[in-house]
Amino acid sequence: MTENCLFCGIVAGSIPSQQVASTERAIAFMDINPATRGHLLVVPRAHATDLRESDPEDLAAATLLAQSLVGRVIERLDADGANLLSCIGADAWQSVFHTHLHVIPRYQDDPLRLPWQPASGDSDEIAKTAELLR
């Protein structure tokens, strides 16, 4: 647990939350600033700033818990789909620096619009970038 970390406080029980599910290594609770009805956060119990620093077993546990919750929100909330999102760094919208996954139920008429609009990329640039990443 890291002092002054909101999510560490939620994990410890010193900060109230609407917890929905938990495992030995991860917990899930409702986002207090939901993008859509049923928006959840899944966090490893152990503190890490983001998924780059997370213990692989903690990250796997959080991902498996998120997987089960995607099914739950689609079935129980009659969602049409879901987004699973991890923000890494302030410029990527991370506002709490404790690894977490957003499980965001999606509904046909919900108002959420992510800023990325898929469009065809330059195939040469894509190939060059792929080479840098290999």
Domains, the chain, in order of start with CATH, read 6-133 (3.30.428.10)
pTM: 0.87
- Which residues sit opposite 41 in a β-bridge? 29, 102
Tell me the two tokens of residue 103. 């499980």
Query: Starting at the edge strand that comes first in sequence, how are the strands of the sheet with 101-106 ordered?
Result: 19-22, 26-30, 40-44, 101-106, 81-85
Residue 1, classed as helix, strand or coil, is coil
pLDDT for position 52: 94
> What single string gives the DSSP state of each residue in 56-74?
HHHHHHHHHHHHHHHHHHH
pLDDT for position 40: 92
**Rounded to whole angstroms, how far apart are CA atoms 70 and 45?**
20
Amino acid, single-letter form, for residue 47: H
- Tens digit of pLDDT at every position of the chain (134 positions): 778 999 999 999 999 999 999 999 999 999 998 999 999 999 999 999 999 999 999 999 999 999 999 999 999 999 999 999 999 999 988 999 999 999 999 999 998 887 666 678 778 887 778 778 77
pLDDT for position 55: 97
Residues that are catalytic: 100
Can you tell me which residue has the tokens 């894509």? 126
